[in-house]
Amino acid sequence: MNIRFITFGSDRVSRGQKIALAAAAIAIGGVFLALGIALLATLAVAGAVIAGGMAIARVLRGGTPTAMREPPLDPSMEVFPRDSSEARRLEGQSKAR
């Protein structure tokens, strides 16, 4: 069984070319890594600036946190369903418990 390999270009890649190709690949990877870290750092700084600006604006306006603006829950206003056969039927429970 004959197997033929067809390659386009030079038949051999010299050792120097292989080293240069590996160095270029590592350099390109390093550039992408540096860009990714810079992007993450930029997002972190932008988030800190926005959060700081919002906190300063709230202090200057004299506002309170959002959770404090809502009225507290009142247990006396809680509504309980009637215990009836109609309620059990709507909930899908059987009559016999």
Could you read off the pLDDT of 2-60 as tens digits, one per residue?
Answer: 888 776 766 577 888 889 999 999 999 999 999 999 999 999 999 999 999 998 988 88
Tokens of 65: 């946190």
Assess contact for 87 and 97: CB atoms under 8 A: no
The pTM of the whole model exceeds 0.95: no
Rounded CA gap, 64 and 70, in Å?
Answer: 10
pLDDT digits (tens, 9 = 90+) for 44-94: 999 999 999 998 988 888 876 665 666 778 888 877 766 677 777 777 766
The predicted pLDDT at position 62 comes to: 81
